């Protein structure tokens, strides 16, 4: 595994970190390689001593990293059969790290991005509907502040991305459903990946998108649940067209 070329340097420099940093870097490096298919499903990793040496970490750090990746569903260990990459169907695709690795612009597939949009279309319209019913004044203030930040970002796409994530996070939070709120990781991952893949938007398209967010916020603030849901569906359907 250590001798295989990578499409780009795998994230997470291991050398020169403390013990906790070593574990985090190994998790990131192996997780990325598995997600990218550099280390494939069903493949057995090198023996512990060899793998630790190739990663320039101690065996304790490697063991902790394997435990973390096992918890995310990527690896399994068993006596005499070693550490293997589990089938893709066992991976916890909603884990923030697993999402991050798959959405890396170097390896993110169009089908994966469409899967994320499909997930958003299932989750976000209902969250907006619930937000229109349950949101507090503080929730509304957060949404409107995010819209203002999006509008004020101008050509600063990084500022725009931060504000966009803040808006969708605020809508999920305003649903006052803890499970729905946790989908903020998947939505944030999608928006970051789309930001890198999508390039610079035309000014007119960009402004129209800001206005769509504002309309959703105002529908929620007015308690118009059906409208908030419909506007969210409309926004996500337009988003999907970028990949079709």
CATH code: domain of residue 168:
1.20.120.530
Which structural domain range is residue 43 located in? 19-90
Residues 85 and 148 both lie in one domain: no
Residue 1's pLDDT is 39
Does 14 fall in a domain?
Answer: no
Kindly state whether residues 118 and 48 are assigned to the same domain.
Answer: no
Kindly state the tokens that stand for 19. Answer: 């013990």
Question: pLDDT at position 219, please?
Answer: 98
Instruction: Tell me, yes or no, whether 56 lies in a domain.
Output: yes
Cβ-based burial of 205 (10 A; exposed 0-12, middle 13-18, buried ≥19): exposed
Report d(CA 215, CA 199) in Å as an integer: 25
Q: In the prediction, which pLDDT does 163 show? A: 96
Domain count, the chain: 2
Considering the domain architecture, whether residues 85 and 112 belong to the same structural domain is answered as no
∠ at Cα 154 (108, 96), nearest 5°?
30
Q: Is residue 13 part of a domain?
A: no
- For residues 64 and 198, give the distance between their C-alpha atoms in angstroms, rounded to a whole number: 37
Name the domain boundary from 63, 90, 117.
Answer: 90
Residue-level pLDDT at 174: 98
Query: Among the residues of the chain, which ranges form H helices?
Result: 19-36, 48-55, 59-71, 96-102, 110-134, 137-152, 157-174, 178-181, 184-198, 203-221, 225-240
| pLDDT value of position 98 | 95
Please check whether residues 141 and 219 belong to one and the same domain.
yes
- Kindly report the CATH number assigned to the domain that includes residue 43: 1.10.10.10
- 37 and 68 in a common domain: yes
Asked, for residue 1, whether it belongs to a domain, the answer is no
Instruction: Clarify whether residues 74 and 128 are in a common domain.
Output: no
Q: Is 71 inside a domain boundary?
A: yes
Q: Indicate whether 159 and 236 sit together in one domain.
A: yes
Is 74 contained in some domain? yes
The verdict on 86 and 113 lying in the same domain is no
Residue 174 contacts residue 136 (beta carbons within 8 Å) = yes
Do the domain assignments include residue 76? yes
| pLDDT, tens digit only, all 244 positions of the chain | 344 434 444 544 455 455 567 899 999 999 999 999 999 999 999 999 999 998 888 999 999 999 999 999 999 999 888 999 999 999 999 999 999 999 888 888 888 888 999 999 999 999 999 999 999 999 999 999 999 999 999 888 899 999 999 999 999 999 999 999 999 999 999 898 888 766 544 455 578 889 999 999 999 999 999 999 999 999 999 887 766 6
Same domain, 182 and 218: yes
pLDDT of residue 18: 52
Looking at the structure, do residues 151 and 231 belong to the same domain, yes or no? yes
Q: What is the pLDDT of residue 113?
A: 87
Whether residues 233 and 125 share a domain: the answer is yes
In a domain, 100, yes or no: no
- Whether residues 223 and 137 fall in one domain: yes
């Amino acid at each position: 595994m250590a001798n295989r070329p990578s499409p780009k340097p795998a994230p997470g420099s291991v050398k020169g970190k403390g013990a906790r940093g070593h574990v985090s870097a190994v998790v990131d490096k192996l997780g990325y390689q598995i997600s990218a298919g550099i280390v494939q499903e069903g493949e057995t990793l090198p023996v512990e001593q060899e793998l630790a040496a190739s990663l320039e970490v101690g065996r304790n750090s490697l063991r902790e990293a394997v435990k973390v990746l096992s918890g995310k569903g990527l690896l399994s260990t068993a006596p005499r059969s070693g550490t293997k990459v589990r089938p893709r169907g066992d991976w916890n695709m909603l884990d923030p790290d697993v999402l991050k690795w798959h959405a890396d612009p170097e390896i993110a597939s169009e089908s994966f991005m469409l899967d994320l949009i499909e997930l958003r279309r299932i989750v976000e319209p209902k969250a907006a509907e619930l937000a229109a019913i349950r949101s507090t004044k503080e929730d509304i203030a957060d949404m409107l502040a995010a819209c203002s930040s999006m509008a004020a970002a101008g050509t600063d796409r990084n500022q725009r991305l931060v504000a966009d994530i803040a808006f969708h996070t605020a809508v999920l939070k305003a649903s006052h459903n803890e499970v729905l709120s946790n989908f903020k990781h998947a939505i944030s991952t999608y928006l970051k990946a789309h930001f890198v893949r999508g390039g610079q938007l035309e000014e007119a398209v960009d402004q129209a998108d800001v206005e769509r967010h504002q309309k959703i916020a105002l529908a929620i603030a007015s308690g118009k649940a059906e409208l908030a849901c419909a506007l969210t569906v409309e926004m996500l359907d337009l988003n999907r067209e970028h990949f079709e």
